[in-house]
Structure formats: structure tokens, C-alpha cells
Amino acid sequence: PGWFSEISTMWPGEAHSLKVEKILFQGKSDYQDVMVFQSATYGKVLVLDGVIQLTERDECAYQEMITHLPLCSISNPKKVLVIGGGDGGVLREVARHSSVEHIDICEIDKMVVDVSKEHFPDVAVGYEDPRVTLHVGDGVAFLKAAQEGSYDAVIVDSSDPIGPAQELFEKPFFESVAKALRPGGVMCTQAESIWLHMHIIEGIVENCRQVFKGSVNYAWTTVPTYPSGVIGFMLCSTEGPKVDFKNPINPIDVKENQHKSTVPLKFYNQEIHAAAFCLPSFAKKVIESK
């Protein structure tokens, strides 16, 4: 009954709105306000501190791209760490890779996990994979404690730099990720919008170029329900075996190796992988000059 508008100081003067059919959950965790509503045209919607995290209709774009851009760029990923991603969508996507043997996930807010399992079963299906271990806690502390060189890939599926995820956009965190990765290991982080946050992106790229001595590339994709309709990703690799993010070398094994109730890929494919790294001139100028 009415409309939800995503108003935030992070995107001044604009607000994406969705028609609300019914509010399904409202709560306050130790970290943020959590809400789920049934929208008129995008399925169910997860909102944290007034910011849209995912909708049933378009979550495939973000979860598939943030996962397969890194994992399809290296051969035989075995050990993967997800920071954030409490809704389970990234886990669902990592599980499609048959070479993966172990998936750690560190999510700070248990309420996000529980709410996703209750209201977004096709997203939280990722938790049903036996290779998954959930750690409820701060990703910064988890990485500080992680053994050096223990992961092939780290995916940072965070909210925005205002709130609990603030530290996940800073240099010390990137340094701890690089330490936890093997030589030639890869990181993929949520990296905002080129339409809204070129300044934030500039800072992230600068930090990543200082910390990651392999490849550092920015990719982007379309997600209708994120502000400006696009979201970016920072793809980085540590010193060691060369990683060419722009040419996927490891096609996903979508046959047997996923949970029976996992939905098929809806968004990611080889061509859109390569296209994701093509940037408009105003963004290319800033990102490739750092």
C-alpha cells in the first residue's frame, strides 16, 4: 500500500521507488535496520538501513557477475572466501564451480542470514551446499586472523561505505585480503557506480594499485534497482601467475555441481564477461590513469 523510495545522502537529489504490496519483515539488528517487502513488480525486496540490497527480479545480475568475473578468470579455484553476502546469493553462484572444495563466508549480521533463509529461499539456497562454512563476525577481524596465502579467491559482497561496511573500502582491509590470497589469487569487491561515485572509485583504484601487484581492473554491470541502474566491481590479483580478467579461461560447470534447487544462470555469459570491462570515456580516463 504505497511506495518505498531509496533516499540517501550517498545519491543526493535522486531516489528510485518501488510500489509496495506488503511489508513482510521489519527489524533492528545490532548493526542496522532490516526490512523485507513484497513489491508490485520486482518480487520480494531486501532493504538495509533504507538501502536496497537485492530484489528477486534482478539479483541474478549482481550475484552472478560479482562471482563469475573473478572465478572464471582463474583455473581451478579450490578455496573461496566471501566477506559479507549474508543473503547467500554469492554462495549459490560459487557453488556452480565444480573445482571449489571449500567456501568460507564471514557475515557480520546474523539477522540478514536468518531473514534471507526465511524470505529469499532461492537466494539463501547457497547455504545448503556442504562445502560452505558460515562465520558470523567482522570480516576485517576474520581476514587479520586468516592464514597467509590460504584462498584462491576473496569476494567482498558488501553494502555501501556508510555504515557497517565502511572499513571494507579502506587500504588496511585490502592489505589483509592480499595477505590471505595465494600468489595469483583474485579479489572482487562491490565498487559502487561510475555515475554517482567516481571519487570513491578513484580512491579504491588507487588503494588497489598500491596493494595488488598483479592485475587491477574495474568492471560494471546493469542492476535496475540499484541507484543509477549500474554497479561496479574491482577485480584485483596478487603478484604471481598472470591473471587476465578480460578473457574468461574457466567456464562454469553448471551441470551436476550445484544444489538441486539452484536456479539456472540468468545473466552471466562469456560475452558479457568481456563486455563488463568496457568503460565510458569519463570513467576510463579516471580509472586507467591511476
Ligand X SMILES: NCCCN[C@H]1CC[C@H](NCCCN)CC1
Active site residues: 157
Question: Closest approach of Cβ 183 to ligand X, in Å?
Answer: 28
By beta carbon distance, the residue nearest ligand X is: 193
Query: Rounded to 10 degrees, what is the CA torsion of 257, 264, 68, 149?
Result: -30
Site string for ligand X, 139-168 (x = CB under 6 A): ------------------x-xx--------
**Is the CB of 228 or the CB of 257 nearer to ligand X?**
228
Detail the DSSP E strand segments found in 29-76: 33-39, 44-48, 51-55
**Is the CB of 87 or the CB of 109 nearer to ligand X?**
87
Does 47 contact ligand X by CB under 6 A? no
- Of residues 230, 158, 148, 228, the one with CA closest to residue 188: 158
Site string for ligand X, 174-193 (x = CB under 6 A): ----------------x-xx
Judged by CB under 6 A, the stretch of 26-34, 50-58, 73-81, 280-288 that binds ligand X is: 50-58
- Cα dihedral sign, 193-198-200-203: positive
Distances (CA, A) of 139 to 86, 130, 155, 166: 12, 21, 11, 11
Total residues interacting with ligand X, rule: CB under 6 A: 18
Q: How many CB atoms lie within 10 A of CB 209?
A: 12
The DSSP call for residue 215 is -
Does 227 contact ligand X by CB under 6 A? yes
Burial of 114 (0-12, 13-18, 19+ CB in 10 A): middle
Judged by CB under 6 A, the stretch of 47-55, 178-186, 253-261, 278-286 that binds ligand X is: 47-55
- Which chain residues interact with ligand X by CB under 6 A? 51, 53-54, 62-63, 85, 87, 89, 157, 159-160, 190, 192-193, 196, 226-227, 231
